[in-house]
Amino acid sequence: MSQEIFWVLLSKKLSGEASPAELKDLENLVLEHAEWQYAIQNLEDLWKQQPPKDDMQAEDAYMLHLHRMKEMNIAFGDMPEPLPAIIGKNRIRKWYWAAAASIAFALGLFAFNKFFNNNSEKTLVAREVNEISTRQGSKTKVELPDGSVVWLNAGSKLTYNKEYGQQLREVTLTGEGYFDVVKMKEKPFIIHTSNINIKVLGTVFNVTAYPEDKQTETSLIHGSIEVTIKNRPNNKIILSPNEKLVVYNEPGENGNTHLKEKEIPEKIPLVAIKQLTYQNNDTIAVEAAWIRDKLSFKNELFADVAKKMERWYDVTFEFENKRKENLLMYGTFTTETVEEALAALEFSFGFRYKIEHKKVTIY
């Protein structure tokens, strides 16, 4: 029954017809089924795309999904008759588009359940672990069962056990997350990344731990956190507000090729504590500006800025001129397209570029 209610509430949210009470009911359902987050995000991205301009095209898409469900023996309940013409053509298209999107999600969920039901060992894993992911070019906000809130940046993943909060509050992060943790003295909040573990009681901080990056960063906004480096388990580092811990990843680890072997003695990550970075007249640190929809950087190598732009704009960069990788850059972008951002950087820092599909070449 909860799934049927979910389809109705999601369709009403997408079409902008859900009441505040219905939106709250939908939020509660999502909290109970965190594994739906990624699919919901995809549907919202689909909904933001331009819907079919033709009524017949919209209805065809809707009927096609119904037909596929019938072939797979999936019951979607009694579907409504075509809406009265008096409602208006735009609203008809919107309704069909939302319904088709919800049905597409139903198909995906059915396939997901069928796969795991046919694999008993994997079924156990699916039931015990929640996973929330974001694609390149997108962000999402997640509320954990204890009320702690996590913002996930593009290309990131957060996982936690279904037993989260019963005895322990542990999560695993790949990518970048901004955490606002509810204080529970008896249940510390622990984040695991490939390179470090972070222990907190209640605070606000940002963690950047993309496997392909040359470093892992923990930036403390306020409160206090304890960081343990996995290769140095006996050394605990306590950060103060406005400080960040930078740990350089080992060469070759998780695909990282930025550092040479000789740059890291005895394969132990280099460690540094630095102050957070602020742009002129900005009250939020560069390290956390992304949660305010700002792509911000200051005195960073073009190679590192390119990585941020890849995730922000869902593009890839290639440097034909390797010397340009070492340009030191600063800037902030909000609503600019990738073309507008590159034009501004080209004017300020002197390089040439071309864009083909989703590939940016610097020369």
Q: Consecutive 10-residue runs of the chain (363 residues): their mean pLDDT?
A: 69 76 77 61 58 52 52 49 41 52 53 45 53 90 91 94 87 96 90 93 91 92 91 86 88 46 51 91 90 94 96 95 94 95 95 93 94
Confidence at residue 39, expressed as pLDDT on a 0 to 100 scale: 58
Confidence at residue 16, expressed as pLDDT on a 0 to 100 scale: 74
Confidence at residue 115, expressed as pLDDT on a 0 to 100 scale: 44
Q: What is the torsional sign of CA 260, 264, 268, 274?
A: negative
Residue 106, both tokens? 């139903």
CA distances from 317 to 175, 303, 356 (A): 18, 9, 11
Distance (Å, whole) CA 195 – CA 233: 11
Residue 262, both tokens? 């000789």
Distance (Å, whole) CA 151 – CA 269: 27
Q: End-to-end CA distance of the chain: give it in Å, rounded.
A: 57
Sorted by where each starts, the structural domains of the chain and their CATH numbers stand as: 2-118 (no CATH), 131-283 (2.60.120.1440), 293-363 (3.55.50.30)
Confidence at residue 65, expressed as pLDDT on a 0 to 100 scale: 52
Closest CA to 137 of 153, 126, 123, 124: 153
Output the CA torsion 358→157→176→190 (10° steps): -170
Confidence at residue 259, expressed as pLDDT on a 0 to 100 scale: 44
Location of structure tokens 């929330």:
132
Confidence at residue 355, expressed as pLDDT on a 0 to 100 scale: 95
Output the CA torsion 338→289→210→156 (10° steps): -80
- Please calculate the CA angle 315-318-323 and round it to the nearest 5 degrees: 135
> Which residue type, as a one-letter code, is found at position 36?
W
Confidence at residue 362, expressed as pLDDT on a 0 to 100 scale: 95
Confidence at residue 237, expressed as pLDDT on a 0 to 100 scale: 92
